[in-house]
């Protein structure tokens, strides 16, 4: 167990490319750990790795998970996103399921113009149909920036009076989409796709859609 955690942590820190926050609550086996890797497009093209730990809180199945994403590009770790979430299935009847996943997000962005560290929070609601071997869920998400520290680079040359430091809420984005999952032998495959919008549904991201393909390996019982 310790070795596994160390491996996950080291991979997370030294080769930051970890995504396993997707859970099929109806899976026949009840694994303790979920490890996943994925790639997709969400603002930019990225790859990620994640780890999730499943437990029960009273009668409610729940999970904590962490996910690390890196955009493709020649600079490996100048931009990244680290999301830590808690997830619980709040309601289910037969194969219908409703779960909620609040998360805390840290981001780093660096480019010739500026470097940013961003603290954000998001919440995802999943509602749909889950069978032991497959499922399909509707997804709604809001991701809001809480605070961002900016240090300007070239922009400071262009505008010397530009203010470095902490900035408060700078907005947020909504996502609406679908997640489908399929289990093959001891692997789970998740495909997520949808559209995202700026919080005012007017000033939307350049890439108007998001999608992700993730492969997940359940471990332990």
- Binding residues for another protein, per CB under 8 A? 13-14, 16, 41, 43-45, 71-77, 79, 81, 106-109, 111-113, 116-120, 143, 145-150, 154-155, 157-159, 161-163, 165-168, 170-174, 197-207
* Residue 188 vs residues 6, 143, 177, 218: alpha-carbon distances, Å: 23, 26, 19, 8
Minimum gap (Å) between residue 143 Cβ and another protein: 7
41 versus 189: smaller Cβ distance to another protein: 41
- Contacts of 188-193 with CB under 8 Å at 24 or more apart are 188/22, 188/24, 188/27, 188/36, 188/215, 188/216, 188/217, 188/218, 189/213, 189/214, 189/215, 189/216, 190/22, 190/36, 190/38, 190/214, 190/215, 190/216, 192/22, 192/40, 192/139
72 versus 91: smaller Cβ distance to another protein: 72
Tell me, what DSSP letter sits at residue 186?
Answer: T
77 versus 219: smaller Cβ distance to another protein: 77
Minimum gap (Å) between residue 162 Cβ and another protein: 6
Minimum gap (Å) between residue 174 Cβ and another protein: 8
Q: Are 103 and 85 in contact (CB under 8 A)?
A: yes
108 phi, psi to nearest 5 deg:
-130, 140
Minimum gap (Å) between residue 33 Cβ and another protein: 23
53 versus 197: smaller Cβ distance to another protein: 197
Minimum gap (Å) between residue 160 Cβ and another protein: 10
* Residue 110 vs residues 60, 77, 89: alpha-carbon distances, Å: 40, 9, 37
105 versus 130: smaller Cβ distance to another protein: 105
Q: Which residues pair with 135 in a beta bridge?
A: 130, 181
29 versus 164: smaller Cβ distance to another protein: 164
Minimum gap (Å) between residue 72 Cβ and another protein: 4
């Amino acid at each position: 167990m310790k070795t596994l955690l160390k491996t996950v942590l080291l991979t997370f820190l030294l080769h930051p490319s970890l995504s396993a926050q997707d859970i099929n609550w109806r899976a026949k086996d009840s694994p303790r750990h979920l490890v996943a890797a994925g790639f997709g497009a969400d603002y930019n093209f990225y790859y990620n790795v994640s780890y999730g730990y499943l437990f029960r809180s009273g009668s409610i199945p729940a999970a904590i998970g962490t996910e690390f994403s890196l955009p493709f590009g020649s600079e490996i770790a100048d931009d990244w996103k680290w999301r830590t979430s808690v997830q619980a299935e709040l309601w289910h009847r037969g194969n219908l399921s409703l779960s909620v996943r609040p998360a805390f997000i840290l981001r780093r962005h660096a480019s010739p113009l500026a470097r940013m560290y961003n603290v954000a929070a998001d919440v995802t609601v999943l509602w749909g149909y889950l069978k032991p071997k497959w499922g399909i869920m509707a997804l709604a998400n809001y991701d809001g920036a809480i605070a961002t520290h900016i240090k300007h680079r070239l922009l400071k040359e262009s505008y010397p009076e530009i203010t470095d430091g902490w900035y408060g809420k700078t907005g947020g984005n909504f996502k609406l989409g679908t997640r489908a999952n399929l289990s093959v032998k001891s692997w789970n495959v998740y495909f997520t796709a949808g559209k995202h919008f700026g919080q005012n549904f007017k000033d939307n991201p350049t890439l108007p859609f998001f999608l992700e393909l993730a492969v997940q390996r359940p471990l332990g019982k």
